[in-house]
């Protein structure tokens, strides 16, 4: 099976996860792709490929005789796609010898514009894969799944000497729970890579520190005609809380290593209201300062309006994996060399979000993230090139060879 055929096969299978579900996996339809992947893995020679009851897939490529003592490395990708557009069949469009211009997405009324995505001009002449504009594509992360299996197939078919290799495919990454039930013992690797990034050649080992923060405001409702010095309008207090945060530190106004406060949701009435934020920063000291700011706002509001007016709940989400990867930096150095051997220059942009690799790194498995060749994930403008996927698969093969050497 070619890499393109494999990718098109997988993206047509619906696997969206559900952030409102408490089951594992969050949607039963993820089992369909999982069972297909197990069969495909066995077909290329991964004999112990299996799915557990929670829809996690594990398989191993035993070392070539004489190479059993090499570092046990692993590759991980997720099977689920974003909950958006979950009820629509994916209809991939292939643009061979892409002309580098705007792309009209079928009859959807949507256009992938070069003005919005200037990198498109650099993709001229390549085989570009898009949606028909009605769904996302699912390259996040079925490109990673396809590339890992393509690389494994090449290593086995061509008889390339290799050390022990572990492979895992997981559910529910898009809703942030895929590392929760990951079986490190079953996986059996010392170092690993998630294959879940953007352009080919990415080697990412930094991500945001992250938490959620919820302000719950308790007002005091009374007839407005008798409200003088008595009424506490919860909605107005919520507005006051938000006004106390720096207006320039939102996702719209930040980039690179700059952190933010992101107001995701708000609601309420005079009697009660709430504000729901996510808080992000790459640097641990800045991340702590942001949380201290929120706590200080809670203190000020309660001093102004009375104890119990506002309650702040902060929940930690994930931490910057660089802290755990630096002591095992050979995992990054090997990836850099693999990218260079593929004729590319490795890039190291920090992830302005999270990754399973962050969770796994703090669980004891250093796991940076590799690019897949894709762009504009999580929406109908998602696209990827065949050439980018081929390079990403080549990088995986090179990593296996480098750790064998």
Would you please indicate which residues are annotated as catalytic (active-site) residues?
A: 80, 173
Give the Cα separation of 77 and 57 in Å (integer): 10
C-alpha dist (Å) from residue 181 to 80, 142, 322, 379, 383: 15, 20, 22, 27, 30
Residues 6 or more apart in contact with residue 298 via CB below 8 angstroms: 215, 310, 311, 312
What is the largest distance, in Å, between two alpha-carbon atoms of the chain? 87
Whether the CA torsion 328, 330, 331, 332 is positive or negative: it is: positive
Whole-angstrom Cα distance, residue 195 to residue 372?
Answer: 6
Upstream peptide bond of 141 is cis (omega within 30 degrees of 0): yes
Asked if 367 and 170 touch (Cβ cutoff 8 Å), the reply is: no
Between CA 79 and CA 86 the distance in angstroms is: 14
Q: Rounded distance, CA 44 to CA 152, Å? A: 8
**264 φ, ψ (degrees, to nearest 5):** -90, -35
Rounded Cα gap, residues 203 and 349, in angstroms: 8
Query: Measured on CA atoms in the order 189, 193, 196, 200, is the torsion positive or negative?
Result: negative
H runs (alpha helix) in 110-157: 139-157
Question: Residues 225-232: contacts with CB within 8 Å, 24+ apart?
Answer: 231/270, 232/305, 232/306, 232/309
Q: In a 3-state reduction of DSSP, which class is residue 150? A: helix
Half-sphere exposure of 208 (CA within 13 A, CB side): 23
- Nearest alpha carbon to residue 203 among 60, 322, 378, 121: 322
Question: SS3 for 180?
Answer: coil
- Show the beta-strand stretches assigned E in 272-394: 272-281, 310-318, 369-371, 374-375, 383-385
368-398 as b/e: b if 16+ CB within 10 A: bbbbbbbbbbeebbbbbbbebbbbbbbbbbb
């Amino acid at each position: 099976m070619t890499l393109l055929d494999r990718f098109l096969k997988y993206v047509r299978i619906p696997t969206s996860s559900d952030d409102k579900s408490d089951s594992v996996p969050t949607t039963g339809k993820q089992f369909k792709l999982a069972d297909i992947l197990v069969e495909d893995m066995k077909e290329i020679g991964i004999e112990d490929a299996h799915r557990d009851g929670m829809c996690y897939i594990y398989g191993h490529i035993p070392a070539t005789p004489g190479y059993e003592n090499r570092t046990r490395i692993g590759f991980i990708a997720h099977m689920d796609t974003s909950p958006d557009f979950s009820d629509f069949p994916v209809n991939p469009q292939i643009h061979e010898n892409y002309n580098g211009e705007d792309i009209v997405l079928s009859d959807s009324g949507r256009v992938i514009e070069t003005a919005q995505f200037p990198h498109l001009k650099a993709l001229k002449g390549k085989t570009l894969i898009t949606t028909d504009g009605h769904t996302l594509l699912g390259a996040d992360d079925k490109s990673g799944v396809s590339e890992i299996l393509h690389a494994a197939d090449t290593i086995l078919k061509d008889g390339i000497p290799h050390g022990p290799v572990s492979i895992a495919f997981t559910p529910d990454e898009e809703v942030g729970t895929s590392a929760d039930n990951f079986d490190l013992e079953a996986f059996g690797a010392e170092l690993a890579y998630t294959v879940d990034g953007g352009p080919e050649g990415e080697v990412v080992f930094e991500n945001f520190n992250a938490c959620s923060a919820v302000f719950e405001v308790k007002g005091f409702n009374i007839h407005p005609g008798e409200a003088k010095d008595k009424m506490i309008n919860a909605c107005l207090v919520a507005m006051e809380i938000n006004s106390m945060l720096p207006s320039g530190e939102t996702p719209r106004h930040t980039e690179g290593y700059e952190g933010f406060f992101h107001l995701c949701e708000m609601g309420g009435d005079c009697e009660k209201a709430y504000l729901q934020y996510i808080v992000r920063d790459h640097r641990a000291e800045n991340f702590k300062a942001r949380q201290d700011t929120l706590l200080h706002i809670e203190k000020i509001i309660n001093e102004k309006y009375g104890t119990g007016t506002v309650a702040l709940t902060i929940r930690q989400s994930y931490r910057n994996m660089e802290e755990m990867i630096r002591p095992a930096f050979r995992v990054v150095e090997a990836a850099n060399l693999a990218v260079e051997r593929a004729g590319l220059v490795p890039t190291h942009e920090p992830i302005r979000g999270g990754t399973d690799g962050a969770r796994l790194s703090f669980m004891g498995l250093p796991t940076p993230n590799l690019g897949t060749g894709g762009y504009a994930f999580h929406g109908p403008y998602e696209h990827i090139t065949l050439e980018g996927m081929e390079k990403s698969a080549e990088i995986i093969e090179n990593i296996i060879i480098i750790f064998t050497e």
